[in-house]
A and B are shown apart, each in its own frame.
Chain A
Amino acid sequence: MKKLKLGAFEELVLLTTGVLQDNAYGVTIKLELEEQLNKSISLGALYSALQRLEEKGWVNSRIGGITEKQGGRRKQYFDITKEGMSILDEVRAMRNSLFDRLPQAKINLIKP
């Protein structure tokens, strides 16, 4: 099987998509990420990450919100897939195991 890699920014986008559940589309993902990261994120970068995620099969997109008012514009929602969830889980498990192996002395560094 082709090994698919999850980049750091992609991981964040994927997580946010999952967190936002039914309401994940460009604007909401962008705003949520900006709030969490405390820096601005361009739509271009976001689209590029979302499209890569979609190619890898970790998110699905669906169309919604077509209204007269919007003049035929479509809202593109994103949902996290089962594969997407499992890669997140995998990444997290890998991180946790690494973290658990940190010596106590290093962990003490962050405790007051």
Chain B
Amino acid sequence: MSLGRQKTRPPRIAKWLLESFCSYDFLSTALWDMEELFHRNVKTKGIHKAKWLYLREAISVVTYLFFKGKSQYSTNKTAMIKHYILISFRSFKRYRSTFLINLFGLATGLASALMIYLWVNDELHMGQFEEKDSDRHFQVLVNTKYSSDINTKEYALMPLAKAMEEEFPEVEKGIPVMAEPYYKGVLSHEGNDLWAVPIFAGDGYFDIFQSDFLAGNKANALDNNGVVISTKLANSLFRGAENAMGKTVQFKGEYHQGPFVVTGVFKPAEDDIIPHDILLSFDHFLSWRPENNNWNNGGTQVHLVLKDGVDIDQFNAKIYDILDKFAGYDDKLFVQKYSDKYLYGKYVNGVPVAGRIVYVKIFSLIAVFILIIACINYMNLSTAQASRRVKEIGVKKAIGAQRRALIYQFFSESIFITFLSLLLAVGIATIFLPSFNTITGKSLAIGQASHLVLPALTLTILTGLIAGIYPGLYLSGFKPVLALKGKLQASSGGLWLRKGLVVFQFATSVVLVISAVVIYQQMSFISASNLGYDQEQLVSFNRDGKLYEGDAEAFMGEVRNLSGVVSMSYLWGELPGQVSGGSGMQWEDMDREAPRVDFSFIEGGYEMAEVLGVEFKEGRSLSKEFATDEVAVVLNESAAQIIGYDAPVGRRFYNGHDVGEVVGLVKDFHFEGFQKEIGPFFFMYSEDGDRFMTKIRPENQMETIRAIEKLHESFNPGYPFIFEFVDDSYQQVYLEEKRISTLSKYFSGIAITISCLGLLALTAFSTQRRFKEIAIRKVLGSSNSGIMRLLSKEFTVLVLLAILIAVPIGFYLMKNWLDGFAYRISLEPVYFVLSGVVMLLFAWLTIVSQTAKSASVNITESLRSE
């Protein structure tokens, strides 16, 4: 048969469906019709559509056979499956509580797995654009070596994009992108002003970055004086996208201003890695700051479109020290696939290692474990229940049922119940998704996820198979004679397995609880820790417009006079995190041979350290009173240590521009996040700075802020006043960890619930079996509490064992996680004890609720039954 004909065959799975469910006569009729239709469809609708239609028809034929068709048209398989479902229903009805526990447990597990799947799927697709060149899209990253380690940054030098395009044949296109909130400006149209963060995009930007255009043409949008604006701006300035097209707007930033014509309106993507409001051509950026276009100035991202089939390792080797040739720097270059950056955005020693992918992996694992816990419940309950079904199995075997048929029966029962659970799970997930979205900061939805159908079905069938393995193999293996007698050989192997599964289940739950406790502790440690500076009542807002140019002093004077204001200054960047850094510092008695040291510093106005509430150890803050303070510095303890002075005040220090005196020494404080260790740092004076910092009194906050806003308006008309409390923005830095903390709390709760559900059913079951024993013991004078102790002992031992196993695992996992923080809690034994106690408490409550019932049972009732 030729290859061409091979391809135009109906899908095999559909044919298999028909062959397994249609009787011989009916099969030939159906196949004739279906194949004739198929060949017709191939001609008119194309092979793929035809295959799809074939599958749909096959399913419709099989469903028809299943629900309405006459038995002579279907195979025995249909009848068998119908029979299995009927039996399942009957056993569900008869053992209602077991069924409900199974259903609820599996549904909760599946719902968690579904939600995690949605989240993971979303994470994996973040930063993966669908533009045409996306799989050849790489970003150039820069490794700078410092004394001890290598620092990876995405900021390259201005001419690099062009130089790489010219130098390397592998590069099809080099696209510079300037995306720094620092270059924000005000966009105005007919007296309306709005803040806008621009991206200055090089030629070819729209080939690699996804931008959803509502109006305009991507191909030439940034030519000449074109500006592309977001829907938000279009709506506020022009009432709509179409209305905005062709209108002239003014853009005014610190260094750049000019009239632009709106040539496009884009809808910002929710998963945009760099939030921005407008797009301008990179050429404008260079024309505004031509002095920047040399090998001494950095700050631009460099994106490359590589030719097909370029070997990345070879290419990386080629560009490794190209900066030396271009610019005489010893920084090293490498490229990373842009779509990998979101998940693998963490670099150690200049090599991308992991990043968010860690959380993706952790949560996938959590989903798997929660599902396994749920499956174990099912396994344990079904086998524990076995004695009740022994007779059914015995009869079946006696009349000739083969073991295989019984295995089928139990598997179909477990798959059937997981399907029911899936329905419930979809309901649960739909209810909880909004809260899940609030926690994760995403906008996931089940309804839109048509891609979810296949994974959900696979997941369900897989869960059903796993859940059914043990009961299927165990129950089907009974010997018919013994089974009919109702006697079960007490296989110790099965009992051990069951106990082992319970231990595994609880160990998993305990690990989750330990993680939740530790993560929670670390998070509260971070938010409660003394940062070394005082964030409270610290308000920051932009310094721009006239306030940038010279009215700042007058403005600050007026603000300081307000009764609600304690002090005020300004600085470059933001706290924590966005501080400047450099390595060219020098000082008295410096060892010239020693490796360079990277210093961090904050440039800004006088009395910065006071406004920030940094504690002084020695000396004073930079002050207007001393003319020499223009070049003076205030060091922190780490800096003093590196310099090697016990008493640094009065010594000379070169800050990279000027030589001045050290006038003060402050205690170490966290100018960066807690993940980073505090390094050498200094304050220095600058006339410039882009943010005001104002310390206000806690009373009448809003009045004070309103008064500042009024002053701002009169000094700086046309610039909107947008303020934030520094402690709020500090919380943002740990948003991700906070989310993880909340999520782990919920998921460990779910794991506990499911485990306890299983325990509940198991205890109920085992106490029921010992009904008579209990009654006899009571007759002989046992007390209620004695009986409860007797019944609880077995499971308590199991839970204790689980805790013992879980503690080292939890310790290992959490130690690894905490290693990511430079400042962290130590793993106190109390966390593990606490987790264990919580687990034990829940388990006991579960057990006691069951045993108490049976202990208080009426003796005569239970003894009379036989």
Query: Which A residues are closer than 8 A to B by beta carbons?
Result: 25-27, 30, 42-45, 47-48, 51, 65, 70, 72-76
Q: Output the nearest chain A residue to B25 by Cβ-Cβ distance.
A: A74
* A54 shortest CB reach to chain B, Å: 10
Q: Which of A26, A43, A70, A75 contacts B60 (CB 8 A)?
A: A43
Q: A42-B60, A44-B64 are in contact. Are A74 and B32 (CB under 8 A)?
A: yes
Q: What residues of chain B lie closer than 8 Å to A51, measured between beta carbons?
A: 69-70, 73
* CB contact list, B42-67 vs A, under 8 A: 56-57, 59-65
B699 within 8 A of A: no
What's the nearest-Cβ distance from chain B to residue A16, in Å?
A: 15
Residue in contact with A44 in the complex, picked from B28, B31, B35, B60, CB distance below 8 Å: B60
Q: Which B residues lie within 8 Å of A42 (CB)?
A: 56-57, 60-61
Inter-chain CA distance A26–B833, complex, in Å, is 71
Q: Which residues on B sit within 8 Å (CB–CB) of A74? A: 25, 28-29, 32
Q: How far is the CA of A48 from the CA of B30 in the complex (A)?
A: 12
CB <8 Å contact, A73 and B68: no
Q: In the bound complex, do residue A44 and residue B32 qualify as a contact, i.e. CB atoms below 8 Å apart?
A: no
B59 CB contacts on chain A under 8 angstroms: 44
Q: Are the C-beta atoms of B70 and A43 separated by less than 8 Å?
A: no
- Contact among B30, B64, B73 with A45 in the assembled complex (CB-CB below 8 Å): B64
Q: Chain A residues with Cβ under 8 A from B65's Cβ?
A: 44
Q: How many interface contacts (CB-CB < 8 Å) are there between A and B?
A: 58
Chain B: minimal CB distance from A86 (Å): 25
Q: Is B32 a contact of A43 with CB atoms below 8 Å?
A: no
Please report the C-alpha to C-alpha distance between residue A27 and residue B38 in the assembled complex, in whole angstroms: 10
Interface centre among B31, B32, B35, B37 (most CB of A within 10 A): B32
CB atoms of A75 and B73 under 8 A apart: no
B593 close to chain A: CB less than 8 A = no
Known pairs A48-B64, A72-B28, A74-B28; A43 contacts B33 (CB<8 A): yes
Against A, the Cβ 8 Å flags (1 = close, 0 = not) of B65-82 are 100111001000000000
| Distance in angstroms between the alpha carbons of A11 and B607 in the assembled complex | 93
Contact-residue bracket for chain B: 20 to 34
CB-CB nearest in chain B for A72 = B28
B interface majority secondary structure = helix
With contacts A44-B64, A48-B68, A48-B69 taken as known, whether A73 is within 8 angstroms of B57 at the C-beta atoms is no
Shortest Cβ gap from B42 to chain A (Å)? 14
Complex CA distance for A43 and B69, rounded to whole angstroms:
13
Distance in angstroms between the alpha carbons of A73 and B64 in the assembled complex:
21
Q: Smallest Cβ distance from B52 to chain A, in angstroms? A: 13
For residue B311, which residues in chain A have a CB less than 8 angstroms away from its CB?
A: none
> B566 — which chain A residues lie within 8 A by C-beta?
none
Complex partner residue of A26 from B25, B29, B63, CB under 8 angstroms: B29
- C-beta contact mask, B167-203 vs A, less than 8 Å → 1, else 0? 0000000000000000000000000000000000000
Q: Is the CB of B28 within 8 A of A43?
A: no
B34 on the A face (CB < 8 A): yes
With a cutoff of 8 Å between Cβ atoms, the chain A residues found around residue B40 in the complex are 27
CA distance A51 to B23 in the complex (A): 14
Smallest CB separation, B183 vs chain A (Å): 57
Report how far A26 CA is from B33 CA in the complex, Å.
6
From A45, A47, A76, give the contact of B32 (CB < 8 A). A76
Would you call B866 an interface residue if the criterion is a C-beta within 8 Å of the partner chain's C-beta atoms?
Answer: no
Provide the residues of chain A in CB contact with B819, threshold 8 Å: none
B447 to chain A, nearest CB (A): 24
Are A27's CB and B37's CB within 8 A?
yes
Question: Closest B-chain residue to A65, C-beta based?
Answer: B32
> Considering only CB atoms, which chain B residue lies closest to A77 in the complex?
B29
Q: Which of A26, A48, A70, A72 has the most CB of B within 10 A?
A: A48
Task: Report yes or no: A76 in contact with B57, Cβ–Cβ below 8 A.
Answer: no
Contacts of B73 in A (CB 8 A): 51
Q: Does chain A have a CB within 8 A of B36?
A: yes
Give the complex CA separation of A42 and B34 in angstroms: 11
| Cβ contact within 8 Å between A45 and B29 | no
Which of B25, B32, B34, B37 is within 8 Å of A75, CB to CB? B32
**Which residues from chain B contact A45 at a C-beta distance below 8 Å?**
60, 64
CB distance from B44 to the nearest CB of A (A): 11
Nearest residue (CB) in A for B35 is A73
Q: Which residue of A lies closest to B56 (CB)?
A: A42
Taking A44-B60, A44-B65 as known contacts, 11 extra A-B pairs with beta carbons closer than 8 A to each other, sorted by chain A number, are A27-B40, A30-B37, A42-B57, A42-B60, A43-B34, A43-B37, A51-B70, A73-B31, A74-B25, A75-B29, A76-B29
